[in-house]
Structure 1
């Protein structure tokens, strides 16, 4: 039996930081492994013809209800590549990270797509203590280091 090919994709991730220095995190699980939840940031794959900044704005609106003009997401603050399994497939994702500072707000999950509704179980604002105290994994694992470099934590 041959291994399925790796799916290449581009993504935009958004570090949503409130005035208290907390980071918006989503908790979910891979549908193929629902017993192993993890925390992650807002964001997702680019749609055809979409720039990374356009994807960041769209994902932010879909996953949080927060609608910002494209100019407010600015330029990426970090770029990386990650590989991961999701729903029985392997992905290799080139991703650009944006930093958005906003007042704390009530999250609106009504824009979630079908897979997000099925897999995202919680949304929370994380402090630096929450990263240290977490018994569940968060992605990327070096997120606190990146937030420190950006002056968030």
Structure 2
């Protein structure tokens, strides 16, 4: 199983709503299943978690940042990517506040265009009440422990 270190982005707008993308598995045993997750992705060779957070922020939202906010969580997890590959990931979660809720898909990869079916800014209450699959599963607790929600 491939190791995939990644930076995940907890992007909050001025109303403290959290940006999540809805993904669909495109291949493998989970094909067709959908879930919500934070923007972010794997590190490029030689890239730091912080640099990857900045790059992913621009690529996935169109918003350019010079440095991410604080890292508020780290977790080791095994999961299946949307293309069907199972990976072992060291995920670092960075809190990023933005001035507006405008998001651009201009810099998405072909795989992102195929796998991301929606984007949404979630209020804490909405996220806590949803029956949709959301990763990480404890995201509301994570933000509460960090003093955000």
Mapped contact 1:53–1:75 kept (Cα < 8 A): no
SS in 2 for 1:77: strand
Unpaired runs of 5+ residues, structure 2, are none
* 2:128 aligned with 1:132: yes
The reply on whether 1:39 has 2:36 as its aligned counterpart is: yes
TM-score, structure 1 as length reference: 0.90
What does the per-residue CA deviation read over 1:73-107, in whole Å, with 9 as the maximum and x for residues that have no partner?
14422111111112232100001110011222211
Please name the residue that 2:104 is paired with. 108
What is the number of residues matched between the two proteins? 146
Give, in angstroms, the shift of residue 24 of structure 1. 0.5
Aligned twin of 2:86: 90
Alignment partners' CA distance in 1, 2:22 and 2:69: 26
Distance 1:131 1:105 in 2: 17
Match of 2:52 in 1: 55
Contact 1:128/1:144 (8 A) holds in 2:
yes
Which of these two proteins has the greater Rg computed from alpha carbons?
Answer: 1
Distance of 1:116 and 1:77 partners within structure 2: 25
CA contact (8 A) 1:31 1:119 kept: yes
